[in-house]
Structure 1
Amino acid sequence: MVVEEHWWNGVSNPRGRRDVYIRTDGSQWQVQAQIGGAAGRSKIQQCPSRGSASILAGAWRASGSGWRAMPR
């Protein structure tokens, strides 16, 4: 899977960090929500299309302000 988009909540403390990723392999799409930095917990949801992945990623980011897009 290749990361198409990545956002983080701007919190540098690993305990408060949140990341949201949209990934694809060219035919399948998934969204990952990660809590607590690289060593934290994550949830991955499969999506049928790029559009649905974008909607889900937006919903997961809606829980707070300060989200920043990460460069690829």
Structure 2
Amino acid sequence: MEQRKHWWNGKWGRLARKDVYLRISGDQWYVEQRAGGSEGTSHFFEHDSEDAALDMIRAILNGLDEWRELSVRPPVR
């Protein structure tokens, strides 16, 4: 699975931190919505297209948090 994008709500700490990831594997797109940092709880959503996955991400990011897109290093080939 290849990670394409990552957003973070800019807050530190297990109780406040939220992350959203966009990933792809084959023809399937995946959105991971995580609360609580690396030790937190994740919810995964599968989509048939990048557009559908990005629509979901836009809905998640629409709120009071100040989301930041973090850089993702391109895969080594």
Tell me the TM-score normalised to structure 2 length: 0.87
Amino acid in the other structure paired with 2:62: A
Runs of 4 or more off by more than 6 Å in structure 1? none
Identity %: 33
Residue in structure 2 matched with residue 57 of structure 1 by the alignment: 57
Alpha-carbon separation, structure 2, partners of 1:63 and 1:53 = 18
Task: Give secondary structure in 2 for the equivalent of 1:13.
Answer: coil
Q: Mind listing any 5+ residue stretches in structure 2 that lack a counterpart?
A: 73-77
Alpha-carbon separation, structure 2, partners of 1:40 and 1:49 = 27
Q: Mind listing any 5+ residue stretches in structure 1 that lack a counterpart?
A: none
The alpha-carbon deviation at position 59 of structure 1 amounts to 0.7
- For the aligned residue pairs, the C-alpha RMSD in angstroms reads 0.9
The alpha-carbon deviation at position 65 of structure 1 amounts to 2.8
The alpha-carbon deviation at position 63 of structure 1 amounts to 2.7
Tell me the TM-score normalised to structure 1 length: 0.93
Alpha-carbon separation, structure 1, partners of 2:69 and 2:46 = 21
The alpha-carbon deviation at position 25 of structure 1 amounts to 1.4
Check if 1:70 corresponds to 2:52. Answer: no
Alpha-carbon separation, structure 1, partners of 2:40 and 2:68 = 19
